[in-house]
Chains A and B, each alone.
Chain A
Amino acid sequence: MTLLEVTVAFPIVLVSIGMFVQMLTGGTGMRDASREAGAAITAAQTAIEEMRNERFDQLLPLFNADPLDDPGGPGTAPGHRFRVDELVPLDAAADGMVGEIILPVRNAGSEVAPDWEIREDLVLPELGMPRDLNGDAVIDDLDHSDDVSLLPVVVVLRWQGRLGEQEMRVFTVMTELY
């Protein structure tokens, strides 16, 4: 054994250990990412199921962005954003929320006096919009808050994950069943 050999062997060992640590870190990152995904899908499931537990005609006031139209009084409804304890919100999320419920709605009012409408003519491809929402097979430019019978829903979760910013979208459609 000579110093030369050790000098040659040393970097080899170091490089291999470096690679090992990298693999370990990468593996751990992957596992953390899948853990986060598990938490995210469970949170999305909870959000969708809580929507299902409400009367269909109350979904808009309960889950839109307007706290003033909440059926139980201003600010009493869950709203369109929700927290997920296991996930770290993005820095950009000023309200500290991870989840968001997206509905085919448009604010026809102002920020101060919002007037949320369910519209068939919105162009939201991820919701399958524009499309018929009240069962008359016609796509029009009217507010269907009162007669909507089919509601495409996307639950979006955005969080600061171990591997950077992460996003999950869960797609479903709800209808007036009862």
Chain B
Amino acid sequence: MEVMLASALMAVVTVKVHGVMTTANCANTEATRRIVLEDKARRVLQQIAVAIMGANRETLIPEIASPASMSDVRYQVNLGVENGEVIWGDPERIALDEPNGAVFWSDNVGTATERRVTWTRIATPFLEGELPNGMDDNGNGLIDEKGLCFEVDRNAVRIRLTLENVADDGQVLTETVETTVTCRNLTTVAE
């Protein structure tokens, strides 16, 4: 009788322990996934931010302000100074490859030697809360903006990025980050 009682108690405890652990594990897994996603989003955002800070404002294209935005910027960066002249690099590009959800950097744009580095492969086609309907669905002042979008205001560029992570169980996590940076190189391109 005592053994049975003890065994029953142990069984109950074991089941409860398992329940607690499973619940905690699930909660923790989701929290971890979310923070990893956010960490990734902020890292990509900073990579883009630093690239734009170093860009020559004169070469930054497109020149576009809200409510329009672009998911693609081209620019030239300062590679150094020689004999008093800035050496500007070949045009570089940061863009969203919509079909693949990839945010990539590339140089030698449009040439056979174009190099491409993918910074993330989990960007969304449209920014969080936005639908392709010609309206500003998420109330950020932009219409139909993409999952990576750039908005130019004088020497500053506002960068917005949405990443999405789909778990094994199909649960979708979305993270949107944004920041503003100003171009530090406001000189014209050397001939």
* Bound complex: CA A13 to CA B9 (Å): 12
* B24 and A45 contacting across the interface, CB-CB below 8 Å: no
* Bound complex: CA A21 to CA B27 (Å): 12
Identity of the chain A residue whose Cβ is nearest the Cβ of B3 in the assembled complex: A1
Q: Does B64 contact A (CB under 8 A)?
A: no
Q: Which residues of B contact A106 (CB under 8 A)?
A: none
Measured CB to CB, the residues of B under 8 A from A are: 2-3, 5-7, 9-10, 13, 17, 20-21, 24, 27-28, 31-32, 35, 38-39, 42, 45, 49, 153-156, 177-182, 186
Residues 37-59 of A, flagged 1 when their CB comes within 8 A of B and 0 if not, give: 01000100110011011000000
Q: Which residues of A contact B2 (CB under 8 A)?
A: 2-3
Q: Which residues of A contact B21 (CB under 8 A)?
A: 20
Q: Which residues of B contact A27 (CB under 8 A)?
A: 28
Q: State how many angstroms separate the Cβ of B115 from the closest Cβ of chain A.
A: 28
* B31 and A28 contacting across the interface, CB-CB below 8 Å: yes
* B24 and A53 contacting across the interface, CB-CB below 8 Å: no
Identity of the chain A residue whose Cβ is nearest the Cβ of B177 in the assembled complex: A42
6 contacts between A and B (CB under 8 A): A6-B6, A6-B10, A20-B21, A21-B24, A46-B180, A53-B180
Residues 123-165 of A, flagged 1 when their CB comes within 8 A of B and 0 if not, give: 0000000000000000000000000000000000000000000
* Bound complex: CA A131 to CA B21 (Å): 58
Q: State how many angstroms separate the Cβ of B76 from the closest Cβ of chain A.
A: 19
Within 8 Å by CB of B31, from A31, A53, A178, lies A31
Identity of the chain A residue whose Cβ is nearest the Cβ of B43 in the assembled complex: A38
Q: Tell me the dominant secondary structure on chain A's binding face.
A: helix
Identity of the chain B residue whose Cβ is nearest the Cβ of A13 in the assembled complex: B13
* A24 and B24 contacting across the interface, CB-CB below 8 Å: yes
Residues 10-42 of A, flagged 1 when their CB comes within 8 A of B and 0 if not, give: 100100010011001001100100110010001
Given contacts A13-B13, A31-B31, A35-B38, contact A49 B180 (CB under 8 A): yes
Q: Does A91 contact B (CB under 8 A)?
A: no
Q: State how many angstroms separate the Cβ of B142 from the closest Cβ of chain A.
A: 16
Q: Does A5 contact B (CB under 8 A)?
A: yes
Identity of the chain B residue whose Cβ is nearest the Cβ of A1 in the assembled complex: B6
* A178 and B3 contacting across the interface, CB-CB below 8 Å: no
* Bound complex: CA A79 to CA B183 (Å): 23
Add 6 more A-B contacts to A42-B42, A49-B180 (CB < 8 A).
A1-B7, A3-B6, A5-B6, A27-B28, A53-B156, A53-B182
Within 8 Å by CB of B13, from A1, A10, A31, lies A10
